[in-house]
């Protein structure tokens, strides 16, 4: 009799657990992405953010000189260890693409250094990622780099020809959009002049090496820290934390960009990138270990990795 009662008890427990598991499975199948925040991956973390959120309301990890992995002298041009594809998989959603207009095509450069990539390679990687992860968007800063040569048209005309290959994958309006509008798309952050507008978020009026500045073009307000010729690392860090504080407490419609990147002049005036990144990157990890929630804007970095990316994007949750 005791064995029978034990059998009944165990059977009831099993049935209860099976029922609970079935309910959990049903909840997962019917939940919206925003209800599964704890389950996001670095490849699809934007899927856990509400459609109604504007890009200006989100903390977004990014990279400076996204494709710069090649240099002729240590510390002078290489800014990233991860490829573009690996960066996207690590959660980066702001990419900084520098294009030389050369022989009627865009080649990817950091200054004079060709990065063994063309704009077609960049677009193929980004579109492939978005097709596999349709909840995400990629904010793409496009800037003309180095000397133009051998062209029959303008930089803008060549850019338009690239867009025409996949027009549905681009968001080219001048305002800062909500996520619902741009999931699965490349959002153009334009740092080149344009005769025909709207053509993306207009950041073409960008002063050189200014600590803090604001671009207000009527359709979007952009607040930037981009002091890339670094006088001292401590001064640069103070400028960075000042903008973080502004972003956390400021108007939600303002898009903040806070460049962690920069270089210091070394021997004979040769730029040294790692002198800055080796100081800043541990500081960023410590900062976002203490500041775990809030809006911090777009944070473009040199030599980003998944750890730093995760710390930044996790502040959204």
Q: What confidence tens digit (pLDDT) does each residue in 230-289 have?
A: 999 999 999 999 999 999 999 999 999 999 999 998 878 899 999 999 999 999 999 999
Unique residue bearing structure tokens 């657990």: 17
Average pLDDT of the chain to the nearest whole number: 90
Its domain, for residue 171, covers 44-316
d(CA 141, CA 171): 12
Looking at residue 6, its pLDDT comes to: 39
Looking at residue 22, its pLDDT comes to: 40
Answer yes or no: is 13 within a domain.
Answer: no
Could you tell me what percent of the chain has a pLDDT over 70? 88
Answer yes or no: is 116 within a domain.
Answer: yes
Q: Is the pLDDT of residue 109 over 60?
A: yes
Answer yes or no: is 295 within a domain.
Answer: yes
Could you tell me what percent of the chain has a pLDDT over 90? 85
d(CA 135, CA 8): 47
Q: Is the pLDDT of residue 23 over 90?
A: no
Q: Is the pLDDT of residue 31 over 70?
A: no
Looking at residue 268, its pLDDT comes to: 80
Q: What is the pLDDT of residues 138-178, one digit of tens each?
A: 999 999 999 999 999 999 999 999 999 999 999 999 999 99
Answer yes or no: is 29 within a domain.
Answer: no
Answer yes or no: is 26 within a domain.
Answer: no
User: What is the SS3 string spanning 18-85?
Assistant: HHHHHHHHHHHHHCCHHHHHHHCCCCCHHHHCCCCCEHHHCCEEEECCCCCCCCCCCCCCCCCCCCHH
Confidence of residue 85 (pLDDT cuts 50, 70, 90): very high
Name 190's bridge partners: 142, 202
Q: Is the pLDDT of residue 219 over 70?
A: yes
Confidence of residue 39 (pLDDT cuts 50, 70, 90): low
Answer yes or no: is 17 within a domain.
Answer: no
Q: Is the pLDDT of residue 13 over 50?
A: no
Answer yes or no: is 230 within a domain.
Answer: yes
**What average pLDDT does the segment 73-85 reach?**
97
Q: Is the pLDDT of residue 93 over 70?
A: yes
Q: What is the pLDDT of residues 116-125, one digit of tens each?
A: 999 999 999 9
Answer yes or no: is 39 within a domain.
Answer: no
Name 298's bridge partners: 60, 257
Looking at residue 278, its pLDDT comes to: 98
What number of other Cβ atoms are within 10 A of residue 22's Cβ? 10
Total structural domains within the chain? 1
Check residue 223 and give left, alpha or beta (phi > 0: left; psi -120 to 50: alpha): beta
CA separation, residue 44 to residues 36, 47, 92, 108 (Å): 11, 6, 11, 27
Q: Is the pLDDT of residue 28 over 90?
A: no
**What average pLDDT does the segment 23-50 reach?**
62
CATH number at residue 147: 3.20.20.190
Q: What is the largest CA-CA distance in the chain?
A: 94
Looking at residue 5, its pLDDT comes to: 44
């Amino acid at each position: 009799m005791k064995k029978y009662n034990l059998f009944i008890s165990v059977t009831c427990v099993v049935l209860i657990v099976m029922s609970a598991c079935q309910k959990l499975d049903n909840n997962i199948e019917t939940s919206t992405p925003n209800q599964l925040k704890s389950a996001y991956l670095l490849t699809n973390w934007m899927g856990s953010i509400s459609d109604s959120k504007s890009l200006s309301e989100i903390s977004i990890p990014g990279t400076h000189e996204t494709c710069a992995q090649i240099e002729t002298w240590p510390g002078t041009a290489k800014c990233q260890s991860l490829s573009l594809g690996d960066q996207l998989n690590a959660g980066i959603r702001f990419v900084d693409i520098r294009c030389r207009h050369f022989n009627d095509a865009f080649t990817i450069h950091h200054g004079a250094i060709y990065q063994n990539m063309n704009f077609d390679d960049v677009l193929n990687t980004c579109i492939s990622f978005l097709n596999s992860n349709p909840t995400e968007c990629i904010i793409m800063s496009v800037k003309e780099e180095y000397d133009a040569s051998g062209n029959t048209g303008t930089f803008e005309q060549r850019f338009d020809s690239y867009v025409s290959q996949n027009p549905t994958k681009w968001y080219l309006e001048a305002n800062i959009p909500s996520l619902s509008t741009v999931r699965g798309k490349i959002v153009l952050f334009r740092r080149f002049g344009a005769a025909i507008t709207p053509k993306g978020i207009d950041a073409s009026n960008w002063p050189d090496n200014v600590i803090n500045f604001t671009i207000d073009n009527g359709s979007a307000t952009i607040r930037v820290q981009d002091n890339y010729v670094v006088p001292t690392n401590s001064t640069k860090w103070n400028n960075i934390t000042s903008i973080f504080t502004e972003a956390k407490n400021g108007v939600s419609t303002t898009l903040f960009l806070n460049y962690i990147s920069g270089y210091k002049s070394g021997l004979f005036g040769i730029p040294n990138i790692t002198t800055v990144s080796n100081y800043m990157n541990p500081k960023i990890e410590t900062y976002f270990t203490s500041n775990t929630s809030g809006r911090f804007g777009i944070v473009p970095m040199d030599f980003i990795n998944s750890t730093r990316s995760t710390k930044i994007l996790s502040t959204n949750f």
